[in-house]
Structure 1
């Protein structure tokens, strides 16, 4: 007696996938920018007893990506980042023809996430919003706009390196040979680690959608520098995507063992 056939899982519609990408990117930007705006330096400016600092901001982004990947990943794949979408396409894991729709959804989600934080900040005490905007609204920057005073070359190098590493991890933990169910944890943990390295250098982009959204509210000089955080995360992602198959996805022929004579 044959076992009953298991019906295939329903495939999400294109609209559902785009909404999931929008929602996941909203969560990412809202969590990151909200933590950096409201909690990073909360309390007394000298001793800062309640602020979460760089570590808290890095953990916040790692958590948002982990949560978003578990919640929305089954629907859209959980990219939430134009660089990730393009890197996956370069690796043959995502169709090039669908990249632009995902990127548009991510840009909209990122803008809405930053807008939500901006709206909340506008209800803060006198001068709170002005101070947040004057500080760039968590935008990325180099030179005088770098948290640690690092120059353009440092920003370029760090964005290429950390985005390439991030894509390598994503491609590795989502591979068919990887242990199922743990990819979001590894991806979120990787982001936390990479932000701890990069925040002092350029406020850590990795994600062009997040950088564009915050630069819109930061304005002026921050917008003038945002091209770096569009171009070089994408370059890092493409390097990882195009090289992944060459470096890690090779296969070798299976040599069958001879059957012993009986």
Structure 2
């Protein structure tokens, strides 16, 4: 239960800080760089805050990758998923209460009317590739051969850079739970496009983790 609570709090914080920066700060005040740093900073903070308890996955794709790499069992992965999706929904609900609306909660998307108006193909490629690279950094920086104590910084900086590169493409997910919370409350287009932010991160996680499972990167 302590691990589930940690994952719940961690995912809630990621959504509240990251999406909160996008919604409450936005382009006028913090800009794309500020939003990117909010997501990365949230991960760094939670890595050291809840990392010793649960490993700070706060992302179903990461938990899937850790499972594929042989570092957790199926039952534990499924319990993490429950906590992560619940935490993301709670974080989005808190943000909605602050904003007073569910119309704009930092939801992910693509196509006409969404940020850079990139195509579905571009969104799919971006999310797959970036999730795979993100997972590679996570599994590598948390391996027994990696320098101790620096994983949180490496992971947080990587997430921030991914956002700097890709906010205009999809708003950046690489995390099904992060997409789930805002989309469920916002509904409409965000909910209809949610499938991509489940499928692409899962494919990316499988690719990245399989390289470790096959001992090609370990």
The TM-score with structure 2 as length reference comes to 0.96
The equivalent of 1:202 in structure 2 is 170
**1:143 match: secondary structure:** coil
Q: How many residues get paired?
A: 217
1:66 aligns with 2:44: yes
Change (3 A) 1:145 1:211: farther
The equivalent of 2:61 in structure 1 is 83
Larger Rg: 1
Cα shift readout 1:213-258 (whole Å, capped 9, x = no counterpart): 1111221111000000011111101111112243112xxxxxxxxx
Gaps of 5+ in 2: none
Q: Which moved more, 1:72-81 or 1:32-41?
A: 32-41
- The structural deviation recorded for 1:198 is 1.1
- The structural deviation recorded for 1:142 is 1.4
- The structural deviation recorded for 1:146 is 3.1
The equivalent of 1:229 in structure 2 is 197
1:23 aligns with 2:9: yes
Gaps of 5+ in 1: 1-14, 42-47, 123-128, 250-262
- The structural deviation recorded for 1:145 is 4.6
The equivalent of 1:238 in structure 2 is 206
Give the counterpart of 2:156 among 166, 185, 188. Answer: 188
> Any conservation in 1 of the 2:39–2:160 contact (CA below 8 Å)?
yes
Cα shift readout 1:115-153 (whole Å, capped 9, x = no counterpart): 00100111xxxxxx3xx71xx421111112531010000
Runs (4+) of structure 1 exceeding 4 A deviation are none
In the aligned structure 2, how far is the partner of 1:248 from the partner of 1:233? 20
The equivalent of 1:163 in structure 2 is 131
Cα shift readout 1:47-102 (whole Å, capped 9, x = no counterpart): x4xx1111000000000000001000100111000000001111111212211110
In the aligned structure 2, how far is the partner of 1:91 from the partner of 1:145? 39
- The structural deviation recorded for 1:173 is 0.5
Give the counterpart of 1:152 among 120, 123, 126. Answer: 120
In the aligned structure 1, how far is the partner of 2:19 from the partner of 2:199? 21
1:55 aligns with 2:24: no
The equivalent of 1:248 in structure 2 is 217
The TM-score with structure 1 as length reference comes to 0.81
